[in-house]
Amino acid sequence: MVKAVVGANWGDEGKGKITDMLAKQADIIVRFQGGANAGHTIVNDYGKFALHTLPSGVFYSHTTSVIGNGVALDIPRLFKEIKSITDRNVPMPKILVSNRAQIVMPYHVLFDQYEEERLGGKSFGSTKSGIAPFYSDKYAKIGFQVSELFDDELLKEKVVRVAEQKNVILEHLYHKPLIDTDELLNTLHEYRDMVAPYVCDVSLFLDKALKEGKTVLLEGQLGTLKDPDHGIYPMVTSSSTLAAYGAIGAGVPPYEIKQIITVCKAYSSAVGAGAFVSEIFGDEADELRRRGGDGGEFGATTGRPRRMGWFDCVASKYGCRLQGTTDVAFTVLDVLGYLDEIPVCTGYEINGEVTTEFPVTSLLEKAKPVLTKLPGWKCDIRGIKKYEELPENCRKYIEFIEGQIGYPITMVSNGPGRDDIIYRESSLNK
């Protein structure tokens, strides 16, 4: 069976921890979209790790980690990341790379930087990993598939053809050095040699695995609100962050996805520009940022301070709906133990009217948060294993949010570690 672990919001909800935890009972973990632009932080027996391209199952010896066709594959970064974990005594994971995955080219990373420079203050807040230029080229049909690395004739012709087009932009728009086709071809030969031992017909591999009754986890990056279609366009990422896309980005039938675990953090955070209705500022935000996550809310890839806000029921209800949520994993709840009262955003006021439905971006920009304050529990809930043992106000917080979003919270995460999890029966499941 196939399960997906995806985010309801702007990313950084704690998907890495939940995937790492669920990977214990899985055979195969697949990254199906995105690239090395965002990171998952994982704390386990080997230490604390930030993963960018590798699936969050690489810490188990019984799992196979797969880079699906939907991923933006940065080959040197993938190998740097493998080395960064094996250098810290993690056994070499079993890795497969889809022969249909496309490659982040050195010029994609440069184009990302040049475009941010050109836009100056009007930039999208890109992480400059080449993701937007990569996906643009993929859909303009001038991307390079892993399989193409093994066809020398094709590669030579295509490098010359693509460089011709890119060089016009480099020269006239960005005024930067041009692509040297011999150098690029050499780089691609190096990439070919690096990736060759791992290349696989992934959809066929997964088809066989599913027929053998194996469990496959699809691991999403970012969250619903960063989806190019359903998110806060244009402040979105360039590949779909939805569980539905997992079928495409891994190459499995959509009906095989039986469980969709949508990760929601107990408060909000976001990186990059874009409307963020429940955002807070000043000392209130600084304190939550400092206490948040595991060692503060700073980007796993970029180190950038994350924007902070209260839990947003409107965005999360929408985020869960678009994912097709069967289970909500509610994370980082332990962090809120310091607050006397916890505000929760239960509605948006737009042009004088209150709504609980998430609007399109132009209206979102006008939305003001409607806040409800819930009493805090004022204690440390880490280490608690049973739902009934959580303080009453803490359970009330969970149940209030569950009622607002309308999807069952079946897992509550009360610490960054693998075992910091409380399973719960939800009345919404009955």
Q: Determine whether 172 is an active site residue.
A: no
Which residues, numbered 294-333, are part of the site for ligand GDP (CB under 6 A)?
294, 300, 331-332
Give dist(CA 43, CA 16) in Å, integer.
Answer: 9
Is 223 marked as a binding-site residue?
A: no
Q: What phi and psi, each to the nearest 5 degrees, are found at residue 60? A: -110, 145
Helices (H), ranges, 140-261: 152-169, 181-195, 202-211, 243-250
Q: Judged by CB under 6 A, does residue 35 bind ligand GDP? A: no
CB of 420 vs ligand GDP, minimal distance in Å? 6
Is 63 marked as a binding-site residue?
A: no
3-state secondary structure of 301: coil
Which position among 16, 133, 143, 272 is part of the footprint of ligand GDP (CB under 6 A)?
16
Give dist(CA 317, CA 329) in Å, integer.
Answer: 13
Question: Within its chain, how far is the Cα of 178 from the centroid?
Answer: 33
Q: Judged by CB under 6 A, does residue 34 bind ligand GDP? A: no
Is 304 marked as a binding-site residue?
A: yes
Is 306 marked as a binding-site residue?
A: yes
Measured in residues, the chain has a length of 430
3-state secondary structure of 388: helix
Burial 376-403 (b: 16+ CB within 10 A, else e): bbeeebeebeeeeebeeebbebbebbbe
- In the block, tokens 């409607």 appear at 370
Is 15 marked as a binding-site residue?
A: yes
Which residues, numbered 235-294, are part of the site for ligand GDP (CB under 6 A)?
293-294
Catalytic residue chosen out of the listed positions 20, 40, 52, 137: 40
Closer of 74 and 115 to ligand GDP (Cβ): 74
Which position among 30, 413, 422, 424 is part of the footprint of ligand GDP (CB under 6 A)?
413
* Segment (H or E) for 318: helix 313-323
Q: Judged by CB under 6 A, does residue 7 bind ligand GDP? A: yes
Q: Judged by CB under 6 A, does residue 334 bind ligand GDP? A: yes
Would you say 276 and 309 are in contact if contact means Cβ atoms under 8 Å apart? yes
CB of 94 vs ligand GDP, minimal distance in Å? 22
Q: Determine whether 20 is an active site residue.
A: no
Give dist(CA 102, CA 72) in Å, integer.
Answer: 6
CB of 181 vs ligand GDP, minimal distance in Å? 37
Is 38 marked as a binding-site residue?
A: yes
Give dist(CA 67, CA 287) in Å, integer.
Answer: 37
3-state secondary structure of 103: strand
Which of 352, 274, 285, 348 shows the shortest CA–CA distance to 315? Answer: 348
Would you say 266 and 311 are in contact if contact means Cβ atoms under 8 Å apart? yes
Question: Within its chain, how far is the Cα of 334 from the centroid?
Answer: 22
Q: Judged by CB under 6 A, does residue 416 bind ligand GDP? A: yes
Is 413 marked as a binding-site residue?
A: yes
Which position among 41, 69, 126, 240 is part of the footprint of ligand GDP (CB under 6 A)?
41
Give dist(CA 26, CA 32) in Å, integer.
Answer: 16
Closer of 110 and 421 to ligand GDP (Cβ): 421
Residues in the interface with ligand GDP (CB under 6 A) total: 25
CB of 337 vs ligand GDP, minimal distance in Å? 10
Q: Judged by CB under 6 A, does residue 127 bind ligand GDP? A: no
Is 212 marked as a binding-site residue?
A: no
Which position among 3, 8, 13, 424 is part of the footprint of ligand GDP (CB under 6 A)?
13
Contact set with ligand GDP (CB under 6 A): 7, 11-17, 38-41, 43, 293-294, 300, 331-332, 334-335, 413-416, 420
Q: Which residues are annotated as a binding site for GTP?
A: 11-17, 39-41, 306, 332-334, 413-415
Question: Annotated active-site positions, please?
Answer: 12, 40
